[in-house]
Amino acid sequence: MTELLIRTGEPTASVVLPEPPTRRERVRLLLRFLGRRPGLVVAAVVVVLVVLAAFAPGVLAPGDPTIGVVAEKLRPPSGAHWFGTDHLGRDLFTRVVHGASLSLQATLLAVAVALVVGGLVGLLAGFVGRWVDEVLMRVVDVLLSIPAILLSLALITAMGYGITKVAIAVGVASVANFARVMRAETLRIRRSTYVEAARAVGTRWYVTLWKHVLPNAAGPVVVLAVLEFGLAILAVSSLSFLGYGAPPPAPEWGALIAEGRNYLATSWWLCALPGLTIAATVLSVNRISRALDGEGRRGR
């Protein structure tokens, strides 16, 4: 349907209102979309593999990560041991796969903590405004003035060690980012014309919050959540590397690299391969986050 209803059949350069795509067309569009973005496809595959390793490690690596054959210690990668073996003869690939669940659980917990707490703080600050906003944002600013890893270290000093405490420490350190994004989105939406229009037609404030603010704010927050997922993996593995995570023989990825460090000079695979796994996971997560961000922008 063109804009001018009086045109005398002249072709226009303006965009004509398209019909919505049928199911078949939609599948074809999706395939073409993915075909132009091979990187995204690879990233998705990697993430699927990692998630599989986290929830069903036995599928990818049926062995026992804690049992090692001492005679086979410090073997480089080969057909029998894809990632080689460590100083106790344990298969490194199996350990990496089983470590995925530890790392991922911790990361999920961290992001959940950051999202819920940060999201609530940001929503409150943006929606209520005035002094509540001032107070909450000052606190957030202070949290931002302390580098994340130091804040996490302080929390660990106070709470103690272990993978759960590491997760919470990382989560709390990321609250500030979520609070800021949520607040910015809430403010933007609250000031938008359609929210005022909703008020003008008599919509109550809590309905506005639920039906207008949250759905429109969700987009950028989800993008941040995916991004933070990658950052959390790095943070959790760093703290684990420093020794504050799960005690040995837990195969958390950071801890694996810490163990392998002692043999760096001779056995490069002990550090390199778990590290590459971390890097691949984070890269894939970031790629997905960028894709989501790109789509979200187009929709706006």
Partner 1 sequence: MSRYLLRRLCTAVAVLWAAYTVTFVVLWLLPGDPITTMASGGLDGEPLGPAAIEALKARYGFDRPLLVQYGSHLWAALHGDLGSSIQTGQDVRAAIGEALPPTIQIALGGLLVAVVLGSALALAATATRLRWLRQVLMALPSLAVSLPVFWVGLMLVQIFSFGLHLLPSVGAKGVEALVLPSITLGLPMGALIAQVLAKSLDQVLDEPYVQTARAKGVGRSVLLLGHALQNAALPALTVLGYVAGNLLAGTVVVETVFTRPGLGRLAVQAVGVQDIPVVQGIVLFASLVFVLVNLLVDLLYPVLDPRIAKGVPAVA
Partner 2 sequence: MSEPASETSARRLLEITDLDVSYRVAGGRIDAVQRVSLSVAPGEVVAVVGESGSGKSTLAQAVIGLLPGTGTVTGGSIRLGGKELTGLSDKAFRSVRGRRIGLVPQDPTVSLNPVHTVGRQVGEVLRTHGLADRRTAAVRAVELLGRAGLPDPQVRAGQYPHELSGGMRQRVLIAVATAADPELVIADEPTSALDATVQRRILDQLDALRAEGTAMLLITHDLGVAADRADRVVVMSGGRIVEEGPVERILREPTQAYTRTLVAAAPGLAAPVTPRRVPTTAPLVQVTGLTKEFPLPGRRSLRAVEDVSFTIARGETLGLVGESGSGKSTTARLVLRLADPTAGEIRFDGADITGLRGKAWRELRRRAQVVYQNPYASLDPRYSVREVIAEPLRAFGVTDHSRVGELLSRVALPSALLDRRPVELSGGQRQRVAIARALALSPDLMVCDEPVSALDVSVQAQVLDLLEELQREQGLTYLFISHDLAVVRRIAHRVGVMRAGRLLELRPTEELFTDPHHEYTTELLAAIAGARVGAS
DSSP at 243: T
- Please report how close the Cβ of residue 26 comes to partner 2 at its closest, in angstroms: 15
CB of 157: closest distance to partner 1 in angstroms?
5
6 in contact with partner 2 (CB under 8 A): yes
Which residues are CB-neighbours of 277 under 8 A, at least 6 positions away?
Answer: 96, 253
- Assess 17 for contact with partner 2 (CB under 8 A): yes
Is there binding between residue 13 and partner 2 (CB under 8 A)? yes
Give the three-class secondary structure for 91.
strand
Residue list 209-228, contact with partner 2 (CB under 8 A): 212, 215-216
**Beta carbons within 8 Å of 252's beta carbon, 6+ residues apart:** 99, 102, 103, 106, 163, 236, 237, 240, 245, 246
How many CA atoms are closer than 13 Å to the CA of 125, on its beta-carbon side? Answer: 24
Give 116 or 197: the residue with its C-beta nearer to partner 2: 197
CB atoms within 10 A of CB 215: 10
For 145, phi then psi, to 5°, come to: -80, -15
CB of 140 to partner 1, least distance (A): 10
22 binds partner 2 (CB under 8 A): no
* Closest approach of partner 1 to the CB of residue 6, in Å: 34
Selected range binding partner 2 among 119-127, 187-195, 249-257, 271-279, rule: CB under 8 A: 187-195
Rounded least distance, CB 248 to partner 1, Å: 12
Which range binds partner 2 by CB under 8 A, 104-112, 129-137, 163-171, 190-198? 190-198
Beta-bridged to residue 85, according to DSSP, are 91
CB neighbours of residue 195 within 10 Å: 19
Q: Which two tokens stand for residue 12?
A: 């226009």
Q: How many residues bind partner 2 (CB under 8 A)?
A: 34
Residues that bind partner 2 (CB under 8 A): 1, 3-8, 10-14, 17-18, 20, 192-204, 207, 212, 215-216, 299-300
